[in-house]
Structure 1
């Protein structure tokens, strides 16, 4: 009996093998393959060939929607930036000419709002956001608020309101004297130079007498200074306020009797130089309102006060002589000491002791007498 066996498997020929696929593959095989393999893996990236409608290596056509787009700037961004720069230039010009009032007029405020609207519109668009941010930066630095405030400060410091004043206002702004004060008074009183000389002589003698009697030593707290007086019409007069050097003892002056004796010694010396008898502002008997004395001098009576202030003048001449004392032994709260420590740290003056100073108001220098007289001829 012949045994049947399975047909032998082919080894090297095509017997029993499935037929080869037709040229170009089976219909629909590509769609099936794409359904099984991820799209990113099945379609490798090929270089883009320039030119619409041209065939790529795979036969796919190129379209403008698939090509990368160059970054574009929105016209609105350029408009906003240009408007901000132009507006800033206008503000800078107004600042340069000193026209402070223009910053706060309705026209400038409306223009500022229009510029702000353009900046906001540019920021709201993606293409104009970069230029809009640049415009916003400029607008935050150079605008009606910042430059207007700077212009107002400048005008206040220099008094340069000339662009908005009448000829009459400009004339009186240059008035050499003081409003409502007879200019002949300044010509007849002692000059600035004479007051300076009197102050130096008086304080020199006072310091010498106090040093001889009490052993005081002295330091200069501040140098002499003078500054123009305002004339009452918005300008500066030819007169000055004079302040002599301020001298201070390096030793404290304590005890009611001792302080009273020192003040009386000062009074006796200045009277020899033509000054009148001194008035104690810190004493209720001087006529000062008793309710303010404790607040000003640290106590209701001289015996309990931290500060003493005595004063003299040389009426009718304008010089004023001041002698002040600070006695921290009477400071019960420590407030005066804290204040004096801050002052001493700033000026280098002693914490307590005696200080001497001379002040003159509305002083006319001998060097300006002729100019003062000549300038008065312009005024009725």
Structure 2
């Protein structure tokens, strides 16, 4: 069946009815007689059929071509990925990182952590810029809106802006000028680092404190009202003499002075010299060790009794087993996990006789040093300080001691610091 329909407003003509396909009735004028015959117009370019020879041929100028097939729209999975979903994910990521930055900055986070978050936000910004360009090209309003919202969140809430606000509120904190300068390393080695007591960083402390005449670690009141240098030396010598006498009476010891008394200038804790002194009493040691645990316990009892008469009531046994100890810790330091197996017993007390005083006693018995760790730990004391491998040792020293002759000058030197709080 023909695929053309005649338009009713067109009429046929004799010329149209007598149309013949080329090559059917003979070669056309001027054509190559040797060329193979060709059927011109035999097949319609728009879907016509072959006309038999001698059949009337339609006037194609009056016919409409058949409709061409319409291509199906691309499937959803074949479409380019939407910018909207990527933007939403990055918006949520930017909000999450910004929230962590705020939490870290205001609730005690350290600067390196916040700078790491800043790096993450920078990466988010780079990706966002690419999505902005893509969204602009695709003319997707929703995608562009999400990306712009993400950029606003990232630019307004990030470690730099949050840290800057905190630095204004708390200039001495880690986001103040000095705190951020310390992030990249401050000159001066340990002097520019932490104070070691959990207090202010040395880099944050006003240089005026380098000339402080007192001690960073001992209050002025304790220095002025407490034992002076001469008093401490006198009382420490008396206490050590009483200890030696009491222990000798119990165990028949002989004693050797391993190190003489020593007085030296004390630092102020800020990198400068104070007007105070450090005193180290003579170090005494017995010529023999106690090996019986009962005798060791008796020696500890005698030492406590004498120390209490000199106001030392906080004498603690460092080697005592306790639940908070890590497994193997006592063995590493004292040679065993129980008193029976420990080659070293150590008693210690602070604020002994003076605010900056420290008293310690070591009871060493290397005969039960099964691991050899105690003797190894004592290598320096034996080789450099002249101590015997074992025995009972008595140590007493103090810092921040004011010499009576320097009292007036010391009080005068404190005047520039009146009303100031000593950094800790």
Which TM-score applies when normalising by structure 1? 0.51
Question: 1:374 aligned to 2:412?
Answer: yes
User: Cα 1:326–1:178, aligned 2, differ >3 Å: closer, same or farther?
Assistant: same
Aligned to 1:294: 331
Offset from partner CA, 1:222-245 (integer Å, 9 cap, x none): 112233333233211122332211
RMSD: 2.9
Give the aligned partner of residue 225 of structure 1. Answer: 262
Equivalent in the alignment of 1:261: 298
Shift in Å at residue 340 of structure 1? 4.1
**In the aligned structure 2, how far is the partner of 1:202 from the partner of 1:272?**
9
Tell me the distance in 2 between the aligned counterparts of 1:341 and 1:253: 20
CA deviations on 1:43-72 (whole Å, 9 max, x unpaired) are xxxxxxxxxxxxxxxxxxxxxxxxxxxxxx
Matches within 5 A, 1:139-178: 171-178=208-215
Q: Is residue 280 of structure 1 aligned with residue 317 of structure 2?
A: yes
Task: Tell me the secondary structure at the aligned position of residue 384 of structure 2.
Answer: helix
Task: Give the 3-state SS of the residue equivalent to 1:284 in structure 2.
Answer: coil
Question: Are residues 181 and 345 of structure 1, via their aligned partners in 2, closer, same or farther at CA, if it must alter by over 3 Å?
Answer: closer
Displacement, 1:213? 1.6
- 2: CA distance between counterparts of 1:344 and 1:316? 28
Q: CA deviation at 1:366?
A: 1.5
Q: Report how many aligned residue pairs link the two structures.
A: 216
Residue 417 of structure 2 aligns to a residue whose secondary structure is coil
Check 1:181–1:248 CA distance in 2 against 1; reply closer, same or farther (3 A cut): closer
Matched, 1:326 2:364: yes
User: Structure 1 residues 204 and 288, CA, compared in 2 at 3 Å: closer, same or farther?
Assistant: farther
- Within the candidate set 367, 384, 389, 1:351 is matched to 389
Q: 2:344 aligns with which of 307, 327, 333?
A: 307
Change over 3 Å in CA distance of 1:227–1:304 after alignment to 2: same
State the shift of 1:339 in Å: 5.1
State whether residues 274 and 314 of structure 1, in contact with CA within 8 Å, keep that contact through their aligned partners in structure 2. no
Q: Deviations over 1:129-177 (max 9, x none)?
A: xxxxxxxxxxxxxxxxxxxxxxx99x99xxxxxxxxxxx9664322101
Structure 1 residue matching 2:249: 3-state secondary structure: helix
The answer for unaligned runs of 5 or more in structure 1 is 1-151, 157-167
Residues 153-204 of structure 1 show CA distances to partners (whole Å, capped at 9, x for unaligned) of 9x99xxxxxxxxxxx9664322101337542231111112111111100110
Structure 2 match to 1:196: 233
Give me the whole-angstrom Cα distance separating, in 2, the residues matched to 1:288 and 1:224.
Answer: 37
Q: Which residue of 2 aligns with 1:212?
A: 249
Q: TM-score, normalised by structure 2?
A: 0.46
Deviation of 1:312 (Å): 3.3
Structure 2 gaps of 5+ residues are 1-187, 193-204, 419-424
Aligned partner of 1:360 in structure 2 is 398
